[in-house]
Amino acid sequence: MATRDRERWDERHAAAGETVPAPPDALRGREDLLPAAGCALDVACGRGAVSVWLAGRGLHVDAVDASAVAIAHGSTLAGRNGAAERVRWWRHDLDAGLPAACAGPYDVVVCQRFRDPALYAQLADRLRPGGLLVVTVLSEVGARPGPWRAAAGELASAFAALEVLVQAEGDGEASLVARRPVSGPGSAPAARR
Ligand SMILES: C[S@@+](CC[C@H](N)C(=O)[O-])C[C@H]1O[C@@H](n2cnc3c(N)ncnc32)[C@H](O)[C@@H]1O
C-alpha cells in the first residue's frame, strides 16, 4: 500500500464519527450461523465495529488493518464495550497477504468492504473445517464497472469449494456467507505460503 493511500485512510478514519459494534452486513438476520465461542479473523477491520461485535458474541478476534487511526478507534471501542481482552489488533499491509501471526485456523473469517482477489485463497485457507466465511465487496452488478468492483459471480467462483449458505449480488455490492466443508473437497488445509 502506498504511503499516500494509507494517509488517506487515516484521514478518512479520523474524520468519521462514532462507531458502534455491528454485525457484518452479510450476516444480518442470519446471526444464528455464528458459533458461540472460538476465534475470528476480521480482515481490513476499519474502526472495529465488526471485530468488537464478534467479541461481544463470545469470540476471540484478530483484527487487521493498515490504518493506525482505525486501529486506535477500534481499540477504544473494544475498551468501552468490555471487549479489550478479546480483540488483538494487527497493523498490517494486506498487500503482503495476511499476517503470518494470523495463521488460524479460525471459526469465522470476515472481510467486509475490502476487495483483493489475491487474498481470496488465504481467506478460505484460514478457516477450520466447519468454519464460516463472511465477505462483502463492491460489485459491478447494479453499478458501473470499476477497478475496485467484483465482476458478476466473482465471489461464487472464488469460493466454489465452500458450501454457500447466503449469497447476494446487486445494487453495487456482492456478499457471500459460506462454510468450509468438514470433509470432502475444500476441507483439506491448503499449503501455507
Ligand atoms: C471501506 S473500509 C472497510 C472497513 C470495515 N471492514 C467495515 O466494513 O467497516 C476498508 C478498510 O481497508 C483498509 N485497507 C485498505 N487497504 C489496505 C491494505 N492494503 N492493507 C490493510 N488494510 C487496508 C482501510 O484502512 C479501511 O479500514
Longest dimension (CA), the chain: 47
pLDDT computed for residue 57 by the predictor: 97
CB-defined site of ligand 1, < 6 Å: 1, 9, 44-46, 49, 65-67, 70, 93-95, 112-114
Q: Average pLDDT in the 17-38 region?
A: 95
pLDDT computed for residue 71 by the predictor: 97
Residue 106 half-sphere exposure toward CB, CA atoms < 13 A: 29
Distance 182 CA to ligand 1 centre (A): 30
Q: Average pLDDT in the 2-12 region?
A: 93
- Of 124, 134, 187, 120, nearest to 165 by C-alpha is 134
Domains of the chain: 3-11+19-179 (3.40.50.150)
Residue 189 pLDDT greater than 60, yes or no: no
Residue 37 pLDDT greater than 50, yes or no: yes
pLDDT digits (tens, 9 = 90+) for 124-180: 999 999 999 999 999 999 998 888 899 999 999 999 999 999 999 999 999 999 999
- The residues pairing with 169 across neighbouring beta strands, listed in sequence order, are 174
Residue 54 pLDDT greater than 70, yes or no: yes
Residues 6+ apart with CB under 8 A from 129: 180, 181, 182, 183, 187
Q: Average pLDDT in the 32-60 region?
A: 97
Cα–Cα distance measured from residue 102 to residue 116, given in angstroms and rounded to the nearest whole number? 17
Residue 101 pLDDT greater than 60, yes or no: yes
pLDDT band, residue 18 (cuts 50/70/90)? confident
Distance 81 CA to ligand 1 centre (A): 22
**Whole-prediction pTM:** 0.95
pLDDT digits (tens, 9 = 90+) for 56-96: 999 999 999 999 999 999 999 999 999 999 999 999 999 99
pLDDT band, residue 17 (cuts 50/70/90)? confident
Residue 193 pLDDT greater than 70, yes or no: no
Report CA-CA distances (Å) from 118 to 96, 122, 125. 10, 8, 13
Torsion of CA 86, 133, 32, 150, to 10 degrees: 120
**Long-range contact list for 184-192, CB < 8 A, 24+ apart?**
185/161, 186/124, 186/161, 186/162, 187/129, 189/105, 189/125, 190/121, 190/124, 190/125, 192/103, 192/125
Cα–Cα distance measured from residue 86 to residue 72, given in angstroms and rounded to the nearest whole number? 15
Distance 111 CA to ligand 1 centre (A): 9
Q: Enter the DSSP assignment of 26.
A: G
